[in-house]
């Protein structure tokens, strides 16, 4: 695979106490753990940076009953009698690709797909005992809530877990119509199944992670793009009692998902289900492959429903409802988020009209902040990067800081030859993730700076997980200057501080719209 897939883009005390057996393995042995459902047998392998060090992997553990009942909330997994072979990834949930370009980039090689997909993966350093009490990081993947999987190679938690001495968990969740059905026969609080899956995974971690040497009181949730949007929604209305103590949001955004009502009607019509009173059951009964074919051959979108439970309209709504978790937050964006997304964007004028409506003065002010000689693609990339990512993240950071949360912010501006889809992609959307996980390509183009920067980013994320109140190693947001940490490919270390104004200067154009639309 030439580039990252990552632009694609979470029960009881007695059970947790009985999850008391875990063993590390040497060559030829298999690590085991006893969770609420039964015994799990994993595998021990080396990881990319070492031919001697090992990591324990437990792959494909059910965190809910699987396959789930289509268009129904997740249920606790049923116990198993024989030891569970957790040595291979399970299939991805059903995918929906928004364009042929995205399929060519993000489905190479294609992942197996199935509705039987509610599984997670645990990566633990060898030698970890049940009472080790290691910090835990639970990863929620991105993909516009349309696609994505915990099993893509870039999300392999081996390097991050082994080098930082933590437990890493990656989870699947349902996406597109399977995760966010917009049927009128479902009440609003019954629709956001993908968000419910994520919360079920978090509950599973809280109950069972001690069996792998993790401390359930030291969980940090982190995600990118729609995964970071998902983290934001858990942050806005967390489970009670809380099941995490820190949150990381990388390139938080969720673009226009389309008209869910029209998309559901179109899907039902294409399946021959019409608008009958039994429409929901009719769609439930149709073959998975038929639904997947329609999803990938029609322009359909299934946005999450605002239910003020799993999905708030904005963090401001959660703040006003006094539900937001008071936990430390690490948040940031990339310098060129929009560069890889231009192929699925309308023209720049349509973008500006979508943001400002008929306000031609604001449209002109936005154009004026960009170089006159910018190409159409460069202009589209800058508009999307600034409005949808940089300025939105700046607003979230300042809003939560004002609400009393401790917030740290970063800005990623690094690009490497062996991990870019085209020469001028820059620090494109998701390009930071393989540095965070340590899964960047290792070939004759790998640079020393790439290796050093990855180590630094891994340590920063892990330091935050180990001590969220202490932060990742730089000054936290205080609505002033010098409060933004930069990761870049230049200089001896590739890191340093930058004046927030130098990144957020253009936001004076977009901030009124973001505030007016409560788009945060």
What positions carry a catalytic annotation? 225, 337, 429
Tokens in use for 179?
């995760």
Residue that is written with structure tokens 């130098």 in the block = 502
Alpha carbon distance 102, 96 (integer Å): 10
Cα 266 to Cα 57, 302, 518: the distances in Å are 42, 12, 29
DSSP codes joined into one string, 96-152: --SSHHHHHHHSSSPPPB-S---EEEEEEETT--GGG-EEEEEEE--STTTS--TTS
Strands (E), 118-271: 119-125, 134-140, 167-171, 214-224, 246-250
Q: Which of 144, 160, 168 is nearest to 6 (CA)?
A: 144
Q: What are phi and psi of 501, to 5 degrees?
A: -60, -30
Q: Are 244 and 231 in contact (CB under 8 A)?
A: no
Residue that is written with structure tokens 């720049």 in the block = 348
Tokens in use for 348?
């720049």
> Taking the CB of residue 203, how many other CB atoms lie within 10 A of it?
18
Query: 399: alpha, beta or left, given left = phi > 0 and alpha = psi -120 to 50?
Result: alpha
Query: 127: alpha, beta or left, given left = phi > 0 and alpha = psi -120 to 50?
Result: left
Sheet holding 32-35, edge to edge: 22-23, 32-35, 38-41, 84-85
Helix/strand/coil for 83: coil
Running DSSP on this structure, what letter comes out for residue 475?
P
Q: Which of 203, 204, 120 is nearest to 168 (CA)?
A: 120
Tokens in use for 7?
């632009």
Alpha carbon distance 13, 22 (integer Å): 18
Q: What are phi and psi of 449, to 5 degrees?
A: -65, -40
- The CA angle 208-211-217, to the nearest 5 degrees, is 60
């Amino acid at each position: 695979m030439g580039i990252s897939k990552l632009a694609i883009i979470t029960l009881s005390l007695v059970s947790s106490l009985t999850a008391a057996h875990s063993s590390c393995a040497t060559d030829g042995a298999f690590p085991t753990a006893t969770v609420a459902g039964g015994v799990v047998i994993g595998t021990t392998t080396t990881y990319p940076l070492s031919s001697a060090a090992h990591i324990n992997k437990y792959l494909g553990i059910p965190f809910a009953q699987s396959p789930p009942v289509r268009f129904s909330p997740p249920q606790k997994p049923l116990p198993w009698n024989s030891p569970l072979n957790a040595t291979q990834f399970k299939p991805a949930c059903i995918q929906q690709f928004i364009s042929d370009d995205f399929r060519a980039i993000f489905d190479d090689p294609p992942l197996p797909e199935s509705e039987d997909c509610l599984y997670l993966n645990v990566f633990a350093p060898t030698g970890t005992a049940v009472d080790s009490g290691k910090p835990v990081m639970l990863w929620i993947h991105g993909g516009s809530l349309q696609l994505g999987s915990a099993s893509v190679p870039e999300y392999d938690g081996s390097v991050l877990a082994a080098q930082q001495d933590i437990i890493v968990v990656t989870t699947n969740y349902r996406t597109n119509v399977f995760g966010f059905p917009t049927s009128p026969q479902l009440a609003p609080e019954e629709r956001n199944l993908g968000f419910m899956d994520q919360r079920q995974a978090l509950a599973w971690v809280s109950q069972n992670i001690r069996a792998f040497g993790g401390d359930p009181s030291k969980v940090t949730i982190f995600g990118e793009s729609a995964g970071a949007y998902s983290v934001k929604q858990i942050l806005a209305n967390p489970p009670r009692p809380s099941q995490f103590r820190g949150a990381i949001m990388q390139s938080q955004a969720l673009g226009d998902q389309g008209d869910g009502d029209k998309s559901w009607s179109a899907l039902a019509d294409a399946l021959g289900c019409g608008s009958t009173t039994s429409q929901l059951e009719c769609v439930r009964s149709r073959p998975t492959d038929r639904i997947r074919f329609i999803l990938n051959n029609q322009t359909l979108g299934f946005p999450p429903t605002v239910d003020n439970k799993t999905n708030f309209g904005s963090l401001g709504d959660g703040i006003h409802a006094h539900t937001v978790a008071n936990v430390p937050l690490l948040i940031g964006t990339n310098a060129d988020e929009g560069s890889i997304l231009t192929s699925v964007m309308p023209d720049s004028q349509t973008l500006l009209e979508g943001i400002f409506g008929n306000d031609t003065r604001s449209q002109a002010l936005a154009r004026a902040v960009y170089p006159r000689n910018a190409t159409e693609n460069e202009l589209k990339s800058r508009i999307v990067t600034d409005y949808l990512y940089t300025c939105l993240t700046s607003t979230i950071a300042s809003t939560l800081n004002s609400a009393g949360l401790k917030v740290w912010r970063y800005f990623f501006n690094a690009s490497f030859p062996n991990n870019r889809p085209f020469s001028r992609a820059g620090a494109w959307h998701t390009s930071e993730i393989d540095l965070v996980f340590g899964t960047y390509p290792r070939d004759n183009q790998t640079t020393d700076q790439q290796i050093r920067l990855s180590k630094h980013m891994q340590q920063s994320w892990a330091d935050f997980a180990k001590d969220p109140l202490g932060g990742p190693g730089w000054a936290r947001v205080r609505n002033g200057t010098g409060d933004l940490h930069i990761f870049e490919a230049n200089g001896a270390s590739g890191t340093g501080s930058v004046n927030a104004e130098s990144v957020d200067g253009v936001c004076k154009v977009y901030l009124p719209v973001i505030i007016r639309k409560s788009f945060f």
